[in-house]
Amino acid sequence: MKVTVFGTGYVGLVTGTCLADVGHDVLCVDIDQRKVDNLKNGIIPIFEPGLDTIVKQAVQNGMLNFTTDMDQAVAHGELQFIAVGTPSGEDGSADLQYVVAVAKTIGQRMNGYKVIINKSTVPIGTAEKVSAAVAQELQTRELGLMFDVVSNPEFLKEGAAVTDFMKPDRIVVGTDSEQAEKLLTELYAPFNRNHNRMIFMDVRSAELTKYAANAMLATKISFINEMANLAELLGADIEKVRNGIGADPRIGYHFIYPGCGYGGSCFPKDVKALIKIAKNVDYSADLMEAVDKVNQAQKSKLFNYIEKHFGTDLKGKTFAVWGLSFKPNADDMREAPSRVLMEALWAAGAKVQAYDPVAMEETQEIYGLREDLKLVGTKEAALEKADALVICTEWKNFRAPNFDLIKSSLVNPVIFDGRNLYEPERMQEAGFAYYAVGRGKSVKVF
C-alpha cells in the first residue's frame, strides 16, 4: 500500500521504516531539510537499536523514501500518517500547531480519497479539529473530496521501538468509517499474523486510550517513588518491598522501579496535558497533579543527597555522572533527570565530568561548550579525580563495575545512585558512602 508519513522523529521514522520493511511503499516527509538530507545519505538522526539496518535495507529496496516536498508527499499515499511533535504549551496543554499544519497541507493538496491517521499523542477531540482544518481547505478549493480522520495512537518505547512496532501488544484504531477500518486492517495485516492485535473503537476513546496508558505508567513510577521516600524515613528497604508487592500478579513487577524520576518526551508532557484536558471539562485531575508533583520532587533527590553529604557550597567540587539519557538504550535527553541534576550542580558552583554510551552528542547540542561540563569517552574517565560518582541512567554496563577502580579514581569514595544498581551491604563492605533511593537505614554516610 502507498503510505505517507509526516514527521521523521522517533515515531514517524520507526512507523515509516517498519511499514516499508513489510513491503509497503512509504514516503517520509519532514520540514527539517537537514534531517531529510541526512536520512537520504543513510544518517539516522536518533539512536534506536536495529533501526539503522532496516532503514538502509528499505531504502535499498526502494520501499522507503524521504522528502521535504509537500506536493509529492500528499500525492503519494492513500494513507497519510501524522507523526509530528505535540510538545507542551505554556499552560501544559498539548501544542497542536504542527498537527494542524499537516492537516492544512493535506487539505490544500489532496485530489482524491485519503485516510488521515493521527499517530501523534493528541487531546481528545483533535481528530475533529483535523477534519475541520482539512474540510476548510477543501472548501476554499471548492472541492467536495471524501476523507476519513482516524486515531491510531503509538505505544512504542524508545530503546525498543522497532521490536515494539514489529510485535505490538495491541494496535488501537479509533474510527467510525468502514472504509478506513478495512484499509487499516490491510495495512497492519503483516503485524497480525500470530494473532489479531487490532482493537477498533470510536475516535475519542482511542485518543484517551493513549493518555490513559501513559498516565497509568507514570502513576506506577510516582507511586513506587513515594513508597521509596517513605521507606527511607521508616527504615525499610524499598527493593524488598518492590519484590514483596510485585509478586502479586494484580500488581506485577513492571514499572515499579524506584529512582530519580521519569523523563523523556512523553510521560511528563502527557501527564501535564491530561491535567489540562481535565480542566477544560471542569474536572480536577487530582491524581495526575500528584503524580507530576511527586516526579518533579524526585528529580531533585540526587542533588539533595549531594547537599546532605557535601554541604551547600559545591565550588571546586567535580562530580562524575554516569548516564545522561532519560533511559537506557536511547539518546533522548528530553526532560531527563540528569539535566535537573547537572543544572543544580552548576548553580551550586560544581563541575560535571559525564559519560553516556550514546547521549553525549545530544548533551553537547543542548548545553554547548562550557567550562563546567566535560564529556568523556569512557565511564572510567569520568571518575578521574572526581569528588563523587552520581548515576542517573541504568545502562547495562554500569551494573557490575570495578569497585576498586571507582574507589581509587575518586577523591572521596561516595556514590549517589539514582537507579538502585548496587547492594548497600556490598558497598559498605567496599568502603563506600552509598546513597540510593528508598533503601532505608542503609542510606547513610558510612
- Residue 86, interface with ligand NAD (CB under 6 A)? yes
Backbone angles phi and psi of 338, in degrees to 5 = -60, -30
Binding mask 120-159 for ligand NAD (x = CB under 6 A): xx--------------------------------x-x-x-
Contact set for ligand NAD, span 155-214 (CB under 6 A): 156, 158
Asked if 126 contacts 207 with a C-beta cutoff of 8 angstroms, the reply is yes
Residues with Cβ within 8 Å of residue 234, at least 6 apart in sequence: 440
Cβ neighbour number for residue 247 with a 10 Å cutoff: 10
- Nearest distance from residue 10's CB to ligand NAD, in Å? 4
- Region class of 384: left (phi > 0), else alpha (psi between -120 and 50), else beta: beta
Query: Which one, 99 or 414, has the nearer CB to ligand NAD?
Result: 99
Query: Which one, 217 or 437, has the nearer CB to ligand NAD?
Result: 217
Residue 360 C-alpha cell reads as: 553525549
Dihedral (CA of 70, 270, 158, 25) sign: negative
- Nearest distance from residue 159's CB to ligand NAD, in Å? 9
Span near ligand NAD by CB under 6 A; candidates 25-33, 106-114, 244-252, 254-262? 25-33
Residue 412 C-alpha cell reads as: 572521596
Cα–chain-centroid distance for residue 219?
16
Between CA 244 and CA 348 the distance in angstroms is 39
Cβ neighbour number for residue 212 with a 10 Å cutoff: 13
Query: Which one, 31 or 290, has the nearer CB to ligand NAD?
Result: 31
Q: How many residues make contact with ligand NAD (CB under 6 A)?
A: 26
- Nearest distance from residue 6's CB to ligand NAD, in Å? 4
Query: Which one, 123 or 261, has the nearer CB to ligand NAD?
Result: 123
For ligand NAD, which residue of 3, 12, 406, 438 counts as binding (CB under 6 A)? 12
Give me the half-sphere count of Cα atoms (radius 13 Å) on the Cβ side of residue 423.
6
- Residue 101, interface with ligand NAD (CB under 6 A)? yes
Query: Which one, 117 or 266, has the nearer CB to ligand NAD?
Result: 266
* SS3 letters across 381-409: HHHCCCCEEEECCCCHHHCCCCHHHHHHH
- Nearest distance from residue 273's CB to ligand NAD, in Å? 9
Between CA 376 and CA 206 the distance in angstroms is 44
Please give the positions annotated as active site.
266
- Nearest distance from residue 35's CB to ligand NAD, in Å? 6
What residues line the site for ligand NAD (CB under 6 A)?
Answer: 6-12, 29-32, 35, 83-86, 98, 101-102, 120-121, 154, 156, 158, 265-266
